[in-house]
Amino acid sequence: MTALDGPWTLHGDALDGPVPATVPGCVHTDLLAAGLIDDPFLGENEPKTAWIGRSAWAYQLDFDWSDAGDQRADLVCAGLDTIASVTLNGVTLGDTRNMHRSYRFDAREALREGRNRLEVRFADVYQYTDELREQLGDRPNSYPEPFNFVRKMACNFGWDWGPTLVTAGIWRPIGLETWSVARLAEVRPLVTLRDGIGLVEVHVRAERASSAPLTLTAAVGEHRAEVQLIDSDQGLVRLEVPDPARWWPRGYGEPTLHDLTVTLTDGDRELEVWQRRIGFRDLRLDTTPDESGSAFTLVVNDVPVFVRGVNWIPEDAFITRVDRSRYAARLADACVANVNLIRVWGGGIYESEDFYDLCDELGLLVEQDFLFACAAYPEEQPLWSEVEAEAREQVARLTPHPSLVMWVGNNENVWGWRDWGWQADLGDRTWGSGYYFELLPSIVAELDPTRPYWPASPYSGGPFTGAADRHPNDPAYGSTHIWDVWNTHDYTHYRSYKPRFVAEFGFQAPAAYSTLDRAQALAGPALTAHQKAGGGDGKLQRALDEHFGDVQGFDDWHYLTQVNQARAIQLGVEWFRSLRPHCMGTIVWQLNDCWPVISWSAVDGDGRRKPLWYALSRSYADRLLTFQPDGLVAVNETSSEWPLRLPVRRMSLAGEQLATADVDLVVPARGAVTIPLADSVGEPGPDECLVAGNAWWFSGRDKDLAYPAAAYEATASRVEDDVLVTVIAETFLRDLCLFADRVHPAATVDEQLVTLLPGDSFTFRVSGLPLDAAVDELTAAPVLRCVNDRVG
């Protein structure tokens, strides 16, 4: 295919003339590059760009073409955002209404020898949604925007962590493809394991320009098979691969990939070659009923997997700025934090091949939502046909990826219908149930029966018949979302739940200091503009009041809200892991951000790791020690037994050992053991703690504990390109953090949230600090600090 990547120009009624445009790209980034708008990520600029989403735009390209005699010439559009009309030399090739589909237009008759003009016009998406809403009737929605009336990235219209930046543009590659005889229109490999034999069923649909007999060949290594396509445009090639190396998730084995090559030929002439990497693994979702409800366990290669997951949102509000290197960096953040599953949330996009390829390589499981979130979605035309075409394309596209292990119908829409007052507003109007319980499961069953489908997140299983059904967010069944902790309860409330699988739970904190600084949002209205959650600041303050009492000043607020976020998620994760195997998975909301913001993320919008990320990496460790109300729990997610021998100590905060008990046991592979302790070491008082390995237990909230005033010796020294900061505790120090980015935006640190008894020491490694930076700043507040700086 010949890429049509420029030079494009952008045209609009609001412009004095055309401006250079980048394809793939969008109107916002083109206007930003031309200096015509201020960066909406900075300060209070975001609402100043609202007019862009309510305007019509056109992209124009002049290019040369020479007829080489091919039978067909197609304009291939991998992604148009969203309400578009495509013309070539004044001839309309087609119209589009769906960002989540690709399009192919026959351009042969419209092309000219020599100079050609291609134009893609984008209509005002609000005008489109307003007209459709008027026609179909309004539908309930968690946000005051019409994203449920158009097949476009929902969070483009704003979310409780994202800006309202309604884009338009050619957001994926566009090009001309010329061909003769036939081409591969769709290749859909279904890969399974049976009795140690790898089975590959390659379903192929060809598009023909002639009736010539065709040969279809599929090969994996030395294993080959072929079929003839005579008077047909569809074929199935079956391959068997004896005893293949299996694809395993992270922590369970190697994610081995095999090259699959599919070739279409006309006699001796090769017409097209399609190549992907596949993985052999057996997969099922165990939902067996039991005395407590029903399981929700992902089983890969006959091994039950405890999911240590994170939710994924679009990596940038302007998604065309996300390339393979940025995906790689963020997925590396997940891997180093001991994550084994990424849930691609339903208000974003079906991600690029780069994303799924990287997950395949890294052994990261992917749970993929269909793109519906937090709203009632009309089922009438033209939306039904758009949803069906989109789902068929995306299910077929993603079949080669072994990382993809589950399709989910929507995010929170069944829960919304049940609990959020939708039924009274809807009357007899459709709201999406036909998609989630009929259309989508039938498409998955037809095109990809190798993977499970689950109707919603959350969903408690069973057929859907109406309001009398089991509550969709019943923790005893299926998948659960837990949001009362963030909204109304202290985070210790997580321990009141005994769920089977938690697909969402989260707690907010601000982005890193230097991220907010770059965004010009360190204080006042600009900081408020970067808090999108309704009542979010009040909820942050409630948690500060509950744990720390009166907090004054930005530095204390910034640090302690980040500590609260880290502790909340650490408590939740470790509690749910302690329930293994009753509970078999947690998916934390959320890994990443799409701009600089106060949010639930572990890694902020500039790619900086918040203290939560460090807490998550410990809580998701293969081998975990955690204190819980019933004692010390040891969780072992490795394939070998864990001989555990260590003391459990009750210590005064002055460093005196008050009681001790020795633990000597073997934790089974993929298992958890609870060791009762109350009789042997006793409960700690307000000036005491329990410690076992890297696990700590305190009697209450920080404001009620008798912390000493922090005292320590801190030194910094350069070692090659890094700086080592060693802290020797003279008193007890809780949740010691080093915020290296406050010294220089490029500086990072290897650890955070370190707790030390008197006499203990710890060395932080700081990377990325320029040689001319003052290292002494690393040894004092507000860069280096602990909780008992503020509470004591």
Q: Is 177 exposed, middle or buried (0-12, 13-18, 19+ CB in 10 A)?
A: middle
Q: Which residues contact 765 (CB under 8 A, 6 or more apart)?
A: 722, 723, 724, 725, 749, 750, 751
The conformation of residue 445, written as its DSSP 8-state character, comes to: H
- Residues 417, 423 contacting (CB under 8 angstroms): yes
Strand partners of residue 204 = 187, 235
Give catalytic residue positions.
Answer: 412
Strand partners, 77: 103, 174
Is the distance from CB of 124 to CB of 55 less than 8 angstroms? yes
Q: How far is CA 558 from CA 102, 180, 235, 344, in A?
A: 44, 63, 60, 29
Asked if omega into 684 is within 30° of 0 (cis), the reply is no
Which residues lie closer than 8 Å to 315 by C-beta, 6 or more apart?
Answer: 322, 326, 327, 330, 592, 594
Distance from C-alpha of 4 to C-alpha of 175, rounded to nearest angstrom? 5
Are the C-beta atoms of 364 and 340 separated by less than 8 Å? yes
Distance CA 292, CA 546 (A): 33
- Are 660 and 729 in contact, with CB atoms under 8 Å apart? no
Residue 173 to residue 78: CA distance in whole angstroms: 6
Cα separation, 620 vs 624, in Å, equals: 8
Length of the chain in residues, anyone?
Answer: 792
Rounded CA-CA distance 645/218 in Å is: 54
- Please, which residues bridge with residue 105 across strands? 75
- Distance of alpha carbon 731 from alpha carbon 710, whole angstroms: 6
Q: Report the greatest alpha carbon distance in the chain.
A: 90
Spatial separation of the C-alpha atoms in residues 50 and 148, rounded to whole Å: 19
Whole-angstrom Cα distance, residue 385 to residue 400? 25
**Amino acid residing at 366:** V
Q: Taking a C-beta distance cutoff of 8 angstroms, is the pair 233, 205 a contact?
A: yes
Joined together, the tokens standing for residue 202 give: 């390659």
Calculate the dihedral angle through the C-alpha atoms of 93, 99, 101, 104, rounding to the nearest 10 degrees. Answer: 20
**Whole-number Cα distances in Å, 396 to 190, 345, 785:** 10, 19, 52
Using an 8 Å Cβ cutoff, are 509 and 565 in contact?
A: yes
Region of residue 479 (phi > 0: left; psi between -120 and 50: alpha; otherwise: beta)? beta
DSSP symbol at 84: E
Name, in order, each residue with C-beta under 8 angstroms of 476's C-beta and a sequence gap of 6 or more: 292, 293, 294, 460, 498, 499, 500
* Alpha carbon distance 334, 324 (integer Å): 15
- Give me the residue label for tokens 């969008």: 26
Spatial CB neighbours of 645, under 8 Å, sequence gap ≥ 6: 662, 663, 664
Structure tokens at 93: 């090739």
Cα separation, 445 vs 246, in Å, equals 24
DSSP-assigned letter for residue 568: H
Residue 193 neighbours by CB distance under 10 Å? 20
Tell which residue, 339, 431, 410, has the closest CA to residue 621. 339
